[in-house]
Chains A and B, each alone.
Chain A
Amino acid sequence: MRSSRSTRNRVAVSIFIITAIVAVLVVRLVDIQVVQASDLNAQSYDKLSVPQTIYGPRGDIVDSNGVVLATTVIRYNVTASPKDVADYTPIDPATGGDLPDVTPTEAAAKIAAITGQTPEVVFALLTADKTSSYASIIKGIDLDKYRAIVALDIPWLYYETDPQRIYPNGSVAGNLVGFMGDDANGALVGTGGLEEKENQCLAGSDGLQTYEKGADGVAIPNTTVLDKEPVNGSTVVTTIDSDLQYYSQRVLAQQVTSTGAEWGSAIVTEVATGKILTAAQYPTPDPNNLDATDSNFWGAIAFSSPFEPGSTFKAESAATVVDAGKGTPSTGVIVPQRYKTPGGAVITDDESHDPEPMTLTGIMQVSSNVGISLMSAMLTDQQRYDYMKKFHLGEKTEVDFPGESEGIIRDPTQWDEQTLWNTSFGQGLTTTAAQVASMYQTLGNGGVRMPVTLVEGCRAADGTITEAPSTQGEQVVSATAAQQTVDMMQSVVEGGYAATLLKIPGYNVAAKTGTAEVSNGEGAYGGGYLTSVAGLAPAEAPKYVVSVNLMKPVTITNGSAAAPVFQKIMSQVLQKYRVLPSTVPPADYPTRY
């Protein structure tokens, strides 16, 4: 009996101890597996996991042929850990054996030879603060230099990638593509031109993935987790033809510099579509090196700088008169050289002449202010204003370019006696170069105004185009009125004062010269002239508009300053786009009756 009781006691004690141990283990188990589980998992994951940024680059801006105007490239920053800077033993890549030790001084010289710095500068950067673990050696080096430095196999150097924006074509369309800058939070965003306007389309966003690494840093299979999908920026497709843009800029630049003008702009528009093929200006910024250009010219003059257009506006007045049935190319008025209006304003023609019976064609040919005023006066002020609004003058074009101006067309009730008359020949109102080009596009396109287009859309990686602009045209004047106006303008090229400068062998060209007085900014004229030519070719079936404006040229102060630029650009356009030479004789309306 005694032995059996002691056995039972032993069993009881054992069971108690085992239960206690199991209980302790269970408590610990629950503590680790349940209570602290998430903390511990996180700790272990932190040790194992490697977060990795997947780079989602900003999209490109391309021209209509796919030529890259703006793109993002990878540059490299080299940094060092100064507290670790010491002798090191490079490994011979050929044999795998050790090479002689390299001292920091020698290393600095090797780095400097690649980066183009002096060895002293590099050495100073390496040793400036021996307690620091970060010192920037050089930023933004290209791939060749980066690989050369990596090949030095220096253990205390570190590398970062640094995406940068470049503009391979430099100042070609530099006024349009714009530039990058910092926003309020210090992030890099487009702050000018299309970079700004299309920032939403272009912007990409970096993604993030995490994997768990093994002892040697290689990813453990099946541990890669995509935390955030990278988004590549989309491509902005413009209507620009970069070759033509280059040619136009070159021709324009030569003429602006040789005539001493303040600036010049040249626009080429496709008549059927309203697409801007070229919007050249001089000076043009090179977005790679903005500081070389006066910041007044960093934007696109064609959109941002309104001016009183002067005589190129007579085309609008003539089309209006014909469309309203108040005249034809062959009918006209007696035109004196100086005319005192019933309200007391005085209009004069530039060249003195006896009172002559000029047709509307003749008025266009000699660019008579008096003649066009008398013809326009057959319409009411409100009618004339309504036509201007139908041409979308006094409002931004559909492009809505950053910094775009609306121009000023005052309500006819606010026109004073002089303005009332002046507006018929393009003074007393302001337009942008883009508006002038659009006006001529309308006349060339049978009176149908197409929306001014600079961007064809935002093209995603899968090729889908979004934000495609409207292609809905508006009939502004009748097809007859439009074509008759174009035909009248042929008389300028056939017999106007700049005829020899405007003619293009083989083609019928319609153009109008302009020499507008520029306001001095104090309510009076006298600040110089804006000389211009706007025209179309081939005149019998217009395909392209070229509009050239030179602000305040010094050596030549009338339309002859802009005429050679018009002639060269239009010749290049006709040649480049394989427009067949004209086979019909130019329109020949009588200039006198």
Chain B
Amino acid sequence: MTSIAPARSPRASGAATAVAEPFDDPFDDAFLGDYSPPAKPKSRFTIATSNVLRRRKPKLAYAAVVVVGVFSIVVAQLTLSIGLSNGAYEIESLQSQQKELDRTNGALTEQLDGLSAPQSLAANAESLGMVANVHPAYLRLSDGAVLGTPQTASGASGSLTNGQPSLVPNALTSGAAAAAAAAAQAATDAATTAAAASSATATGTPAPTAGTPVATPSAPSAAAATAAVPWQGQLPAPTTH
């Protein structure tokens, strides 16, 4: 804790010999002798005054900053790791949710593919009384000419299945198509009955789930899918050219 305080050095006065040096160092004299150059005006060592010592006294603020700093680092670290592990649980839960949704999506896609198979479309269309018109006619817009011979579609020639759906078999939908047809029929009956009773409440009639194998299906039953859905938006504007 020695320090240099040049202003108070006795050598500053330029005295030739050492007089009453407070810390008279024997080596100092032995080393330098009387050949102290006047250009060196101060001793290397001196007592630190109380003034200097007061400046170096540790302050409470520093300690407080350090303690608070350490504490906040610990808290931050803790919060971060709690956050991370919470995140891990959240990720886990979301991932399993996603997996379940993916599975449901897969099952619904499969059901949709089955319902949109030509066999099932043809069977369902015919169960609704639809027939194809095998005599297309065209109206040419440029001169209004009718091309082809328009004829009414008839049940016999227009039938796609001709009552022989097994000609183009589909092991996946043979059961489902029949069930869907039956369910559609049931839904139509239900709707008709309901309409007769009260036309206002007819639309929401839950269709019976005929042929549905499991009590709690992940996908809506075929019957629900084929039940009439009331139009809720604006009617589409016709696009005229």
Minimal beta-carbon separation of B148 from chain A (angstroms): 4
Q: Is A148 a contact of B119 with CB atoms below 8 Å?
A: no
Q: How far, in Å, is A343 (CB) from chain B's closest CB?
A: 48
Interface residue? B107 (CB, 8 A):
yes
A331 at the interface (CB under 8 A from B): no
**B168 near A249: Cβ-Cβ < 8 Å:** yes
Which residue, of B88, B116, B215, has the highest number of chain A Cβ atoms within 10 A? B88
Are A67 and B116 also in contact (CB < 8 A) when A219-B92, A250-B167 are?
yes
A170 pairs with B119, CB closer than 8 A: yes
Picked from B110, B138, B167, B174, the residue with its CB within 8 Å of the CB of A253 is B167
A71–B218 CA distance with the chains assembled, in angstroms: 20
Query: Is A123 interfacial (CB 8 A cutoff)?
Result: no
- Chain B at the A interface: mostly helix, strand, loop or mixed? loop
B168 & A253 in contact (Cβ 8 Å cutoff):
yes
Question: A218-B88, A506-B148, A580-B138 known; A172 and B104 CB under 8 Å?
Answer: no
Query: Quick one: which of A70-125 are within 8 Å of B by CB?
Result: 71, 73-74, 114
State the CA gap A581–B138 with chains docked (Å).
8
Is B84 in the interface zone, CB < 8 Å from A? yes
A221 and B106 alpha carbons, distance in the complex (Å): 29
> Contacts A221-B85, A250-B167, A506-B148 hold; do A167 and B172 have CB atoms under 8 A apart?
yes
Chain B, residues 159-186, CB within 8 Å of chain A (1/0): the string is 0111010011111111000000000000
The answer to the question of A390 belonging to the interface, with a C-beta cut-off of 8 Å to chain B, is no
> Does A191 reach chain B (CB closer than 8 Å)?
no
Which of A127-135, A137-145, A516-524 touches B? A137-145
Taking CB atoms and an 8 Å cut-off, the chain A residues in 495-515 that contact chain B are 505-506
Q: Which of B67-105 contact A (CB under 8 A)?
A: 84-85, 87-89, 91-92, 103-104
Tell me if A166 counts as interface (CB < 8 A to partner B): yes
Q: Which residue of A lies closest to B81 (CB)?
A: A221
For chain A, the count of residues having a C-beta within 8 Å of the partner chain is 49
Bound-complex Cα distance A243 to B119 (A)? 10
A-B contact count (CB 8 A): 129
The listed residue (A168, A250, A257, A574) touching B110 by CB distance below 8 A is A168
Q: Which residues of A contact B160 (CB under 8 A)?
A: 247, 250
The answer to whether B216 and A148 touch across the interface, beta carbons within 8 angstroms, is yes
Cross-chain contact A147 with B218 (CB below 8 angstroms): yes
The interface-forming segment of A285-293, A375-383, A409-417, A463-471 is: A285-293
Q: Are A581 and B148 in contact (CB under 8 A)?
A: yes
- How distant is the Cα of A171 from the Cα of B165 in the complex, in angstroms? 12
Query: Known contacts A114-B214, A575-B136, A580-B138; is A249 also within 8 Å of B149 by CB?
Result: no
Residues of A within 8 A of B87 (CB): 221
A:146-196 near B, CB below 8 Å: 147-148, 166-172
- Rounded to whole angstroms, the CA-CA distance of A73 and B110 in the bound complex is 8
Do residues A144 and B218 form an inter-chain contact, with CB atoms below 8 A? yes
Q: Which residues of B contact A (CB under 8 A)?
A: 84-85, 87-89, 91-92, 103-104, 106-107, 110, 113-114, 116-119, 122, 134-138, 140, 147-149, 160-162, 164, 167-174, 213-219
Interface, chain A (partner B; CB < 8 A)? 67-68, 71, 73-74, 114, 142-145, 147-148, 166-172, 214, 218-222, 242-243, 246-247, 249-250, 253-254, 257, 282, 284, 286, 288-289, 292, 505-506, 568, 571, 574-575, 580-581, 583
Given contacts A170-B168, A172-B119, A250-B161, 13 further A-B contacts (CB under 8 A): A67-B116, A144-B217, A148-B216, A169-B118, A221-B88, A222-B84, A249-B168, A250-B160, A253-B164, A288-B171, A288-B172, A571-B136, A574-B136
